Structure 1
Amino acid sequence: MITAVVRYTLPPQIDHAACREHFHMIAPNFRGVTGLISKHFIWSESGWAGGVYQWERIEDATAFYTGPWLEGIIQRYGMKPQIDFYEVFALTDNTRGKVELFEEAVAPNDPSR
C-alpha cells in the first residue's frame, strides 16, 4: 500500500468556504479512480490544501498524478503540487477494530528500485 501526500498553496480568492465547497463537489469523482483506496481532502489555516491518498500500487498513483489531473491543479491553484510518496508498513483501523501488517513490496536492496 502507498500513501501519497499532495499539497499546494491556495490563491487568495480561495478561502476556507470556497475550498470546502469545491472539495465537496469533486469528492464523488474519485470513486472510480483505478487503484485508489481512499482520499482525505485536507485544508490548513496556513494556506495549504490538498489530499492524502491511499493507493494499492505506486504505478496507479504515478499514473493518476499526470495529464488532466495535473493540468487541473496547475490551472486552479497556479502551481505544481508537492507530492510525497510513502510505503505503508502497517495500518491500525480503529473503525473496523483491525490492525494490518503489510509485506514488503520490493526488497530494499533491489537495484531496480
Structure 2
Amino acid sequence: MITAIVRYRLPAEIDRAACRAHFEAIAPGFSEVKGLLSKHFICSERGVAGGVYQWRSKADAEAFYSGPWWDGIIQRYGMAPEIEFFTVFAKTDNEAGTVTIVEAAPADAASAAE
C-alpha cells in the first residue's frame, strides 16, 4: 500500500469556498479510479490544496498521475503539483475498529530487533 500526498498552491481567484465546491463536485468520480483505495480532499488556511491518496500500488498511482489528471491540475491551478510517495507499514482505522499490518518486517529483521 502506498500513500501519496499531492499539494499545489491555489491561484488567487480560487478561494476556500470555490475549492470546496470543486472538490465536492469531482469527489464521486474518484470511486472508479483503478487501484485507488481512498482519497482525502484537503485545503489549508495558507491556500495550499490537494489530496491524500491511498493506493494499492505505486504503479497504480503513477499511472493515474501521468494521465489526464496531471494536465487538468496544471490547467486549473497553473502549476504542476508536488507529489510525495510513502510506503504504508501499518494502518489504524478507528471507524472500522481495525489495525492492519500492511508491510510487516521480514522474520529475520524482527528477531534481530529483539
Gapped runs of 5+ residues in structure 1? Answer: 105-113
SS in 1 for 2:52: strand
Supply the distance in 1 between the matched residues of 2:67 and 2:84 (Cα, whole angstroms): 18
Give the TM-score of the pair, scaled to structure 2: 0.89
**How far apart are residue 102 of structure 1 and its match?**
1.5
SS in 2 for 1:31: helix
Give the TM-score of the pair, scaled to structure 1: 0.90
1:56 aligns with 2:56: yes
What residue identity is the alignment partner of 2:19? C
Supply the distance in 1 between the matched residues of 2:99 and 2:11 (Cα, whole angstroms): 39
Aligned residues: CA RMSD: 0.7
- Which residue in the other structure is 1:78 paired with? 78
Count of matched residue pairs: 104
- Which residue in the other structure is 1:3 paired with? 3
Supply the distance in 2 between the matched residues of 1:26 and 1:88 (Cα, whole angstroms): 26
- Could you list the structure 1 runs, at least 4 aligned residues long, displaced by more than 2 angstroms after superposition: none
Q: Which has the higher helix share?
A: 2
Gapped runs of 5+ residues in structure 2? Answer: 105-114
Supply the distance in 2 between the matched residues of 1:100 and 1:77 (Cα, whole angstroms): 36
